[in-house]
Amino acid sequence: MDSLARKFGTPLYVYSADEILGRLDMFAAAFKGIDHLVCYSVKANSSLAILQLLNGRGAGFDIVSGGELQRVLSVSREAAERVVFSGVGKTYVEMDLALDADILIFNVESAAELTLLAERAKKKRRLARFALRVNPDVFAETHPYISTGLREHKFGIDIGAARRVYREAATSRWLTPVGVSVHIGSQIRSAEPFGAAMGRVAKLVRELRTDGIQIESVDAGGGLGIEYRAEYSFRPLEKVTEYAAAMTATLGGIPVRLLLEPGRFLVAQSGALVARVLYVKKNGKKTFVVTDAGMNDLIRPSLYQAHHEIVPLLRRTGGKRVVDVVGPVCETGDFFARDRELPRLEQGDLVAILDAGAYGMSLSSNYNTRPRPAEVLVEGRKARLIRRRETIQDLLGPEVNLG
């Protein structure tokens, strides 16, 4: 890490290709003998290099915008046949782009969206393959901002109303109902809610087949969580195995293809944000470690009060002390840790903020006119720059100077 920081500067995102592919292999092992496709959730980390890495292993992609589709298509036009398009607010422009690309399936979230999709498919003279994203009203213990499976959430169609919507859609010349989709939230660490959701989906699939609608696939969504805290043990293969067992048991042997949409689970623990200590300062009883990374680079601690382990790259003698690790952004909410006991840090030291491979760079911004970090992908002993550090010229480029 130290050599990478010297070569590429800080703040710096560093990812492990071996870790990402290892996680993908865990899904292959856990779902062995079951017809399935892993569709990586692009929103977790949309780096072209990571998309290329996963595409090379035959993974599919779960997208939520036309921009994400264009990222996938820039990696491989053929990958479109492995793309599922989710999201509650698709525009007609995005639908047209996806229809032209001939994606695998649209995950439709409302009757109004389905009407618009039929109109665009007719205009394009193309059949639109779709699944309804049903809301199973299953509670998953996670942060309220990333819980999506209850009736009061904006996502999906009430599972009780879905059968009627499918029947109506089946009469359309331009719509082909081929799947059922569900996603109950993110960062879920128990397999039980996934099993409960699949049980309700299985019941709907049986009802639809009774109606003559031959459902070919079930999109189980994503949401499988990780442990961000060092004090909790985490065995990823064991977690994927439990997840697979819970879902396949409650599906009851229905012959469908399972679409799986992991994001965080594949990439979060592959990545770290490396930052340099600018200052160590005391305000009364508080000690602040000020780094050159800020909330614009990694917003999860500020947005979700999320915990990330912070590891000094140089271990100094002198014991530990309780500090706040903060950034230079002009916000009190610009912090990575509060009242955290850490080994002694001094000006110029490097720290690694761990488990930052998901929702780090993809949620970053240019707040305070701060250029975003560079990104590096490590494969074995080889490190490659996959995104250069932004410059002020990059930030000002799209703007119009009226002077």
How many alpha carbons lie under 13 Å from residue 30 in its C-beta half-sphere? 23
Which residues touch 301 (CB under 8 Å, ≥6 apart)?
Answer: 295, 307, 308, 335, 336, 337
In the residue annotation, 330 being an active-site residue is answered as yes
What does the pLDDT look like over 182-214, one tens digit per residue?
Answer: 988 888 888 888 888 899 999 999 999 999 999
Which residues touch 397 (CB under 8 Å, ≥6 apart)?
Answer: none
Contact 285, 14 (CB under 8 A): no
Mean pLDDT, consecutive 10-residue stretches, the chain (403 aa), reads: 95 98 97 96 98 98 98 98 96 98 97 96 98 80 42 69 93 96 87 88 94 95 91 88 91 91 96 98 95 98 95 88 97 97 96 98 98 97 97 96 88
Nearest to 108 by CA among 140, 172, 156: 156
Neighbours of 209 (CB within 10 A): 12
Phi, psi of 259 (to 5 degrees): -105, 125
Please report the pLDDT score of residue 148 as a whole number. 44
What does the pLDDT look like over 37-87, one tens digit per residue?
Answer: 999 999 999 999 999 999 999 999 999 999 999 999 999 999 999 999 999
Neighbours of 144 (CB within 10 A): 9
* Burial call 253-282: b when 16+ CB within 10 Å, e when fewer: eeebebbbbbbbbbbbbbbbbbbbbbebee
Tokens of 47: 């780096």
Selecting among 330, 332, 369, 403, the annotated active-site residue is 330
Q: What domains does the chain contain, in order, with CATH numbers? A: 2-11+269-389 (2.40.37.10), 17-265 (3.20.20.10)
| Dist CA 93 CA 91 (whole Å) | 5
175-181 and 157-158 beta bridge pairing: unpaired
